[in-house]
Amino acid sequence: MSQEPMDVVALFGLKGVQHTPISIKNARVSQHYKASLTATFNLHPEAKNAIVLEEDLDISIDFFSFLSQTIHLLDEDDSLYCISAWNDQGYEHTAEDPALLYRVENMPGLGWVLKKSLYKDELEPKWPTPEKLWDWDMWMRMPEQRKGRECIIPDVSRSYHFGIIGLNMNGYFHEVYFKKHKFNTVPHVQLKNVNSLKKDAYEVEIQNLLREAEVLDHTKNPCEDTMLPDSEGKVYVIFIKMESETDTSTWTELAKCLHVWDLDVRGNHRGLWRLFRKRNHILVVAVPISPYSVKKPANIKPIHLEPPTKEEGAPAEQL
């Protein structure tokens, strides 16, 4: 066990807890998370929530302010699973507004808060056992755990992942997926309309956005910036083909050409993604699986992208 963490704990006059590592590889990490969460809530029985931070994260100047402005939502809205400081799709070229918040269906992690009741009543009793070589975060994202609940995230992340060497990390992976994540450097950010993140209010918010949104020209290639008009501060919507939850080819190809997370489907709310391009707010709606598909004009054909064949070796084009 490294002495460094305990030295840091002593430096700040805090209480540190060490435990004997259990199991191997991913399971060892998973058991460490379980031991840490259990110890946290056992040592602080009065605490209603816990903040989880890994040692390879930097946190923004307003990290705790961000949480203090949002944490009440966990008590007031039982449709929420967590609050996370991390936006999976929030890169330097796709995130814009440090005051803006979203609801997403996945659990991003990387600087997050969960309720004591969620952990003690639901997660702890069925946490993966040491012989299961599972990733704890992938397990937490499974429908059996999430139960349809969502997480609150910021448009501009309040955490930054700088760790390059790890069980599931290397230099190339970090360069492609983490290095260019946007990280808030603005102090004292007053978050916008925090209570509009509650379940019913958020639906009103999305409907208002869709009402305001201008439909982009679907005959153009969404991978090219020419699809977007030369404007700033507008709301646009794109409709893409997604027949089922497993029909992910169009989103994956679009994510690749937008240079955002493309390894699985993340960061959406009921089949709708939100991001920025050229300082415009872009909504991407999956048709027909998203309930927001009803907003698609009859004359618009959803964009369909397929991976390039080995012979082509070129970026996917619109079909």
Structural domain containing residue 54? 4-177
User: Per the domain annotation, does 275 fall within a domain?
Assistant: yes
Nearest in space to 162 (alpha carbons), one of 30, 26, 60, 31: 60
pLDDT of residue 174: 72
Asked if residue 205 and residue 144 are part of one domain, the reply reads: no
What is the DSSP secondary-structure string of 174-228?
A: HHHHTTTB-B---SS---S-GGGGSHHHHHHHHHHHHHHPEEP-TTS-TTSGGGS
User: Per the domain annotation, does 122 fall within a domain?
Assistant: yes
Asked if residue 202 and residue 171 are part of one domain, the reply reads: no
User: Per the domain annotation, does 189 fall within a domain?
Assistant: no
Residues 122 and 61 sit within 8 Å (Cβ to Cβ): no
- Given a cut of 70, whether residue 310 has pLDDT beyond it is no
Whether 121 is a known active-site residue: answer no
User: Per the domain annotation, does 182 fall within a domain?
Assistant: no
Asked if residue 210 and residue 260 are part of one domain, the reply reads: yes
Active-site option among 88, 137, 155, 262: 137
User: Per the domain annotation, does 12 fall within a domain?
Assistant: yes
Asked if residue 124 and residue 236 are part of one domain, the reply reads: no
- What is the per-residue pLDDT across 266-285, written as a single tens digit (0 to 9) for each? 999 999 999 999 999 999 99
Query: How many domains, the chain?
Result: 2
Tokens of 128: 């993966």
User: Per the domain annotation, does 315 fall within a domain?
Assistant: no
Let me know if 235 is exposed, middle or buried by CB neighbors in 10 A (0-12, 13-18, 19+): middle
User: What is the percent of the chain with per-residue pLDDT over 90, rounded to a whole number?
Assistant: 78
Asked if residue 85 and residue 209 are part of one domain, the reply reads: no
- What is the per-residue pLDDT across 22-61, written as a single tens digit (0 to 9) for each? 888 789 999 999 999 999 999 999 999 999 998 889 999 9
Domain at 272, CATH number: 3.10.180
Asked if residue 151 and residue 35 are part of one domain, the reply reads: yes
Asked if residue 138 and residue 72 are part of one domain, the reply reads: yes
- Given a cut of 70, whether residue 172 has pLDDT beyond it is no
User: Per the domain annotation, does 17 fall within a domain?
Assistant: yes
User: Per the domain annotation, does 267 fall within a domain?
Assistant: yes
Asked if residue 46 and residue 120 are part of one domain, the reply reads: yes
**Residue after which a domain boundary falls, among 116, 144, 177:** 177
Q: Which residue has the tokens 């990490």?
A: 29
pLDDT of residue 178: 81
Asked if residue 144 and residue 236 are part of one domain, the reply reads: no
Domain at 44, CATH number: 3.90.550.10
Predicted TM-score (pTM) of the model is 0.91
Asked if residue 259 and residue 160 are part of one domain, the reply reads: no
b or e along 162-190 (b: 16 or more beta carbons within 10 Å of the residue's beta carbon)? eeeeeeeeeeeebeebbeebbbbeeeebe
Asked if residue 170 and residue 207 are part of one domain, the reply reads: no
Asked if residue 208 and residue 241 are part of one domain, the reply reads: yes
